[in-house]
Structure 1
Amino acid sequence: MFPIILRRLALSIPLLVIVSAITFVLESFVPGDPARTILGINATQEQYDALRATLHLDQSIAAQYWLYLRDVLGGDFGDSLFTGESVLGTINQRLPVTLALVIGATGLSTLVGVLLGVYSATRGRFSRRLTDVVSLLGSALPNFWLALMLVSLFAVRFPIFPATGYTPFAESPGQWAAGLVLPVVALSIGGVAMIAKVTRDAMLTTLGLDYIRTLRASGVGRSSIIWKHALRGCGLPVVTAVGLTMIAFVPGTVFVENVFTLPGLGTTVTEATNQHDLPVVQGVALTFTVMVIVVNLVVDVLYSFLNPKVRVE
């Protein structure tokens, strides 16, 4: 298991460098000038040139990236160009909101998706077709549209949940949970569709294997065969689907957080991109990349438990 973890961590280092480089280059093409935005239109040319030199904006993209990379390797992610706050401080403050969305949506998608997949695999052709329809709709409908529909229905027409805003867990656990219901549901719809279809297909394949027929012939109960033996045999494809779904939720939070005005990393990176606040954009991009690496690492560890051959390899 430890060689798998070490190998994954070693591969993550060049990934972080590549992501940071691509983000740096793409951000340089965004229209706008941070120095002009900070100083305003009334600043003199001397003030403008001095600020550009202070921010290293007068140097080439390669030189700017090298200075940034050097600071990051030293543990300094810089400060926001507009607020002056530490990038790490901003990320630490906003990260819990994004994590709550991603973890909540993953849990809901896994629970509903697995139950729906098992049900459709064991209840006949109609339920299988229904799962296909649900999967198609869930994959086709965009998160931001679903979020707007949920707000319109469950926050405006029927004021059950708050439409926007976020309450920290320490202030009120009840309001914290209520404020996350609609965002989590909006984010998880696509994940439910994917996990349900993968679970259904894997369950159908597993139920046709020889050892399942042997269990039936031995008098093992139907529920035990489905939930204890067959579902375990579906572990690898289901875990893969859950991992891919969780990774997809990470960028998906950008749209959902902006619809519900949640103070997470999604709204942070949107505001920073509009302001050309490169240190914040870079910090959020690296945080998202680390989240993806952690998810892949957890999936690899689960693989080693579900399939001992992985540990040998």
Structure 2
Amino acid sequence: MTTLHAKVTGTPLGRPGPGLRLRRWRLTRGSMVSMVIRRVFTAVPLLLLVSSLSFVLLSLTPGDAARQILGTRGTPEQYEALRQQLGLDQPVYEQFWHWLSRAVTGDFGTSIINGTSVAGEIWARLPVTLSLISGAILVSVVVGVAGGVFSAVKDGWLARAIDALVLVVWALPVFWVGSMLVVVFAIKLEWLPAVGYVPLSESPTAWARSLALPVFALSLGSVAAVVKQTREAMLDVLGSDYIRMAAANGIPPRSLIFRHALKNAAIPVVTVVGLQTIGLFGGAVLIENLFAVPGLGSLLVTSALSNDIPAVQAVAVVFTLVVIIVNFAVDIAYGLLNPKLRSS
């Protein structure tokens, strides 16, 4: 049977021939393309829903930008004239339509408070936030997966200490962690700067030093979540029958853990990493204001306090796009890790 199969296909039994591999590749590519199309069509109504809800909620908040600009010294006539100039006297649906008609072309309008382009402000601050989030994700994945695998494989007081530490770290508020890091590493030890941000183009070393404390404070909770999920997934896989059989067949422990067990435990880990990535953008709002990092989080807070609706709307749209992109990346990772999920 083996000889006959080899003669017909030109490949050993159990190994797909070139035609079968090509058909599988085409099926995989078609499934991924259809998934991309579905995600794009679901992203459009989600963006519209988020932008409309945020616009309505902002319009219901007390005060407006005209009073923020004029302060207490403006006369009623000046106040009404400025409202008309800014378009704040129009109904909410007309204001939203004017904003939406420009936003679809990439024009998020002009900041009501300082008169600058909102899109320009977004592009200037986006790399700062992405640097912070990327560093936090890297720390979360590397430390979290390593700690989870170690805790699942090793047994003893050290593994139990890691499990207990994870529960404690998970419960710590991010702003408290950031404050303690400033006290210890910036004030007492004077190892790292307490606040501020240095662009990468100016000095890579100063850039890394300025992001060290914010990244550590932001990633600590995510590290705990990844450690816990990795440990539980690894324990579940290591207790399965095929892992026991592979160990009985003499597969080395290192290969058994990293090539077989960790790969099969990766799907729940990818899920929690995706969820933590979305949560990191919420935590970045606190961390950027605590460490005076000029990112999108600090822009969101200052714009919300000033009733700067175009700026808040733009940040909300960008954050929604990030959530969509992260979910899309998680779906792609699912398809790569488990081909059965590509067509689901």
Q: Is 2:198 the counterpart of 1:178?
A: no
1:42 corresponds to which residue? 73
Query: Could you tell me how far apart the structure 1 residues matched to 2:290 and 2:281 are?
Result: 15
Q: Is 2:288 the counterpart of 1:288?
A: no
2:309 corresponds to which residue? 278
Q: Deviations over 1:273-301 (max 9, x none)?
A: 11111100001111111111111111111
1:111 corresponds to which residue? 142
Q: Is 2:341 the counterpart of 1:310?
A: yes
| Shift, 1:95, TM fit | 0.6
Query: Could you tell me how far apart the structure 2 residues matched to 1:204 and 1:40 are?
Result: 61
1:187 corresponds to which residue? 218
Q: Is 2:231 the counterpart of 1:196?
A: no
| Shift, 1:126, TM fit | 4.0
Q: Is 2:58 the counterpart of 1:18?
A: no
Unpaired runs of 5+ in structure 2?
Answer: 1-31
Give me the CA root mean square deviation. Answer: 1.3
Which of these residues, 252, 257, 280, is aligned with residue 226 of structure 1?
257
Unpaired runs of 5+ in structure 1?
Answer: none
* Between 115-124 and 167-176, the greater mean CA deviation after superposition: 115-124
Which of these residues, 113, 117, 133, is aligned with residue 102 of structure 1?
133
| Shift, 1:130, TM fit | 3.0
Call closer, same or farther: CA 1:153–1:65 in 2, change over 3 Å. same
Q: Deviations over 1:50-85 (max 9, x none)?
A: 211122211222222222222212432101011111
* SS at 1:90 equivalent: helix
Larger relative contact order (CA 8 Å, sep ≥ 6): 1
Query: Could you tell me how far apart the structure 2 residues matched to 1:293 and 1:54 are?
Result: 35
* SS at 1:141 equivalent: coil
| Shift, 1:38, TM fit | 1.2
The residue type equivalent to 2:226 in the other structure is I
* SS at 1:164 equivalent: coil
The residue type equivalent to 1:112 in the other structure is V
Query: Could you tell me how far apart the structure 1 residues matched to 2:55 and 2:169 are?
Result: 33
* Between 112-121 and 22-31, the greater mean CA deviation after superposition: 22-31
* Between 95-104 and 4-13, the greater mean CA deviation after superposition: 4-13
* Between 13-22 and 29-38, the greater mean CA deviation after superposition: 29-38
Q: Deviations over 1:233-263 (max 9, x none)?
A: 1111011111111110011100000110000
Which of these residues, 75, 78, 92, is aligned with residue 123 of structure 2?
92
Query: Could you tell me how far apart the structure 1 residues matched to 2:329 and 2:156 are?
Result: 35
Instruction: Give aligned-pair identity as a percent.
Output: 48
Q: How many residues align?
A: 313
Q: Deviations over 1:220-241 (max 9, x none)?
A: 1111111111000111101111
Query: TM-score, normalising length from structure 2?
Result: 0.88
Query: Could you tell me how far apart the structure 2 residues matched to 1:7 and 1:132 are?
Result: 40
Query: TM-score, normalising length from structure 1?
Result: 0.96
8 A Cα contact 1:79 1:86, kept in partner: yes
Bigger Rg, which one: 2
1:136 corresponds to which residue? 167
* Between 281-290 and 46-55, the greater mean CA deviation after superposition: 46-55
The residue type equivalent to 2:231 in the other structure is R
Query: Could you tell me how far apart the structure 1 residues matched to 2:144 and 2:70 are?
Result: 51
1:149 corresponds to which residue? 180
2:104 corresponds to which residue? 73
Q: Is 2:247 the counterpart of 1:216?
A: yes
2:19 corresponds to which residue? none
Query: Could you tell me how far apart the structure 2 residues matched to 1:164 and 1:62 are?
Result: 41
* SS at 1:312 equivalent: coil
| Shift, 1:10, TM fit | 1.2
* Between 38-47 and 221-230, the greater mean CA deviation after superposition: 38-47
The residue type equivalent to 1:42 in the other structure is R
| Shift, 1:41, TM fit | 2.6
The residue type equivalent to 1:256 in the other structure is I
Query: Could you tell me how far apart the structure 1 residues matched to 2:343 and 2:312 are?
Result: 40
| Shift, 1:310, TM fit | 1.3
* SS at 1:170 equivalent: coil
8 A Cα contact 2:151 2:163, kept in partner: no
